[in-house]
Structure 1
Amino acid sequence: MPNLGTVLKEEIKRLSRRSTAALHRPLKKDVAELKRVVAQQKRVIESLRRDSRRLMADLNGRIAKLPAVSEKDAQRIRLSSRIIASQRKRLGLTQDEFGNLLGVSGHSVFLWEHKKASPRRKVKAAFAVVRTLGRREARQRLEAMATVNGKAHRAG
């Protein structure tokens, strides 16, 4: 004959499993639904990342496609420290911003303006293109470059 204590324990276990199962069923459904939502959101995020990479590559290509200047024209361009400084001031840019527009550092612009160095032929070609820009277009190009590089443009 089974012991009364073990029978009671077995019955208590059975009833507790039954009551907890009733509580867990809705939770299991919720967890499954949340897992589906998370998986779907991961797919959406990956799709957005793919689109973002494609758009950034497209934007990089557009920024890189400055109007071409021939080698002859680049050689004929005469640059002096005064011309560089006046062009930068005309556009209302700092040395760093002007350097970014030309694809060089701000320190290079500083050296050019103080007659410590002279621009290379490739930069002269870029300078010929920058010469044709107005203030607004120069700012737009800088902002586009900043967003492509992941840096927020700081006003002021």
Structure 2
Amino acid sequence: MQLEVDGRQIDIQVDPQMPLLWALRDVAGVLGPKFGCGIAACGACTVLIDGAPVRSCVLPVGDVTGRVTTIEGLARDGALHRVQQAWLDEQVAQCGYCQAGQIMTAVALLEEIPDPTDEDIDKAMAGNLCRCGTYPRIRAAIKRAAGNGTEA
């Protein structure tokens, strides 16, 4: 089967029922999406399919019909995506384990709602768990990326 991942075509030979997460990590070598819970409850495995956030730990790779974007596919021409840069500027990460999923969900949010309210952010990010509790910094980074947060 063939997948488009981060702008490149990847041929993989796997059982179509294999979760997309494992096809990405173990077969394609794309390590950004993380295994957290395996039941779509934590968000660490979030990737975008045609711009929509999905939990790759429960999605069978055979059901993928669109373009997959991972954290590795956000940066372009050596420049970080605005959400990635905002994460650095706001010093969001502590342990960092959830960050790829958090960032991917934030990217999808800002594509849908370019100037989100606190309520919009809380609703969109509710399914992404952070063991370190950096939720205030996550919100600040999303606001920064939207252009309505603090400036460096």
**TM-score of the aligned structures, taking structure 2 as reference length:** 0.26
Structure with a larger share of its residues in strand: 2
Larger radius of gyration: 1
**TM-score of the aligned structures, taking structure 1 as reference length:** 0.26
